C-alpha cells in the first residue's frame, strides 16, 4: 500500500520507541528489529515516479524515459490491531548449505503492548490511547530437529472474554483490563493433558504465540 501521509507523522508510533531498550533474545527485540526504520540507498533505491516525470517531462513515452531512483526510508508498522495476535518465531537458520534449528529460549511476556509497533493513526485504536495490550492464551512448542520432532501446546482455560467477542464480531473494543486474563494453564501432548504453572509456560521454547486483545 502506497502511503501519502505527511512525512512528519508517517514514521510516528502510538508509543515512544526511543524509550524501549528491548532485551536480546526476546519477543520485544524481535518486534523492534522487524519494525525498525530502514534507509534504502545504492542498489536498494526506490523508483520515484515524481522524480522521473520531473526529469523527463510528462509528454515523453514511458519507454523513452530514464527512470529516476532516489534514496528513501522504509518502516513496517501495524496499521490495524488484530483481535487475536499470532506471532510465528523463525526457528531455523542457514548453516552452510543446510538449515539448522534454533533451540535457544526466546523470552515472551504474559501481557504485551503493541503500541510502540503501531502507526500513530492505527485504525482501530481510540484517539488518545497509548497502549495496545494483549494477553497470552496459547503457545505451541516444537521439540526435535529440522528433520523430525514433536509439537505440543500450552493453553489457558479461562472464562469467556465478552470484550474480545465484541471486537471480533463488531470491531468494537471497550475493554479496560491491563492484567492477564485469569485462568488455568494446561500442557497438551497428543492425548495427555496436565495442569502447569505460568512459569512453566514462560520458560518454554515457543514456536507460535497466541495473544488476545485487552486494550
33: exposed, middle or buried (Cβ count in 10 Å: 0-12, 13-18, 19+): exposed
pLDDT at 159: 76
Write b or e for each residue in 141-171: b if 16 or more Cβ atoms lie within 10 A of its Cβ, otherwise e.
bbeeeeeeeeebbbbbeeeebebbeebeeee
Q: Are 105 and 139 in contact (CB under 8 A)?
A: no
pLDDT digits (tens, 9 = 90+) for 140-149: 999 887 778 8
**Per-residue pLDDT at 165 exceeds 60:** yes
Measured CA to CA, the distance from residue 131 to residue 126 in angstroms comes to 10
Over residues 47-51, mean pLDDT: 81
pLDDT digits (tens, 9 = 90+) for 15-39: 988 878 888 899 999 999 999 988 8
Measured CA to CA, the distance from residue 199 to residue 209 in angstroms comes to 15
The pTM score is 0.80
pLDDT at 1: 44
What lies within 8 Å, CB to CB, of 63 at 6+ separation is none
Q: Which three cell numbers stand for residue 16?
A: 515512544
DSSP 30-47: HHHHHT--EEE-GGGPEE
**Per-residue pLDDT at 134 exceeds 80:** yes
Q: Between 153 and 171, whose confidence is greater? A: 153
pLDDT band at 136 (very low <50, low <70, confident <90, very high): very high
**Per-residue pLDDT at 93 exceeds 80:** no
pLDDT digits (tens, 9 = 90+) for 98-133: 788 888 899 999 999 999 999 998 888 888 888 999
Q: Are 86 and 208 in contact (CB under 8 A)?
A: yes
Among the CATH numbers 3.40.50.300, 3.90.70.10, 3.90.1150.10, 1.10.30.50, which is that of 78-213? 3.90.70.10
pLDDT at 73: 86
Nearest to 153 by CA among 142, 145, 144: 142
pLDDT at 137: 96
Q: Which three cell numbers stand for residue 102?
A: 534454533
61: exposed, middle or buried (Cβ count in 10 Å: 0-12, 13-18, 19+): exposed
CA distances (Å), 199 to each of 28, 101, 185, in order? 18, 24, 10
Nearest to 152 by CA among 117, 184, 193: 193
pLDDT digits (tens, 9 = 90+) for 56-84: 766 555 555 678 888 888 889 999 999 99
**Per-residue pLDDT at 87 exceeds 90:** yes
The neighbouring-strand residues paired with 119 are 13
Amino acid at each position: 500500500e502506497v502511503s501519502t501521509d505527511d512525512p512528519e507523522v508517517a514514521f510516528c508510533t502510538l508509543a515512544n520507541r526511543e524509550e524501549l531498550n528491548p532485551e536480546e533474545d526476546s519477543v520485544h527485540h524481535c518486534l523492534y528489529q522487524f519494525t525498525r526504520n530502514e534507509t534504502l540507498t545504492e542498489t536498494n533505491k526506490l523508483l520515484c515516479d515524481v522524480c522521473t516525470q520531473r526529469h523527463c517531462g510528462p509528454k515523453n513515452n514511458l519507454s523513452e524515459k530514464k527512470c529516476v531512483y532516489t534514496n528513501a526510508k522504509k518502516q513496517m508498522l501495524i496499521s490495524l490491531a488484530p483481535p487475536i495476535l499470532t506471532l510465528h518465531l523463525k526457528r531455523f537458520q542457514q548453516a552452510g548449505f543446510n538449515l539448522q534449528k534454533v533451540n535457544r529460549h526466546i523470552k515472551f511476556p504474559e501481557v504485551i503492548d503493541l503500541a510502540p509497533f503501531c502507526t500513530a493513526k492505527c485504525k482501530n485504536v481510540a484517539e488518545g490511547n497509548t497502549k495496545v495490550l494483549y494477553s497470552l492464551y496459547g503457545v505451541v512448542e516444537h521439540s526435535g530437529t529440522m528433520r523430525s520432532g514433536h509439537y505440543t501446546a500450552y493453553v489457558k482455560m479461562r472464562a469467556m472474554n465478552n470484550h474480545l467477542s465484541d471486537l471480533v464480531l463488531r470491531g468494537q473494543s471497550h475493554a479496560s483490563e491491563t492484567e492477564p486474563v485469569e485462568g488455568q494453564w494446561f500442557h497438551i501432548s497428543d492425548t495427555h493433558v496436565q495442569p502447569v504453572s505460568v512459569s512453566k509456560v514462560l520458560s518454554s521454547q515457543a514456536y507460535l504465540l497466541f495473544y488476545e486483545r485487552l486494550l
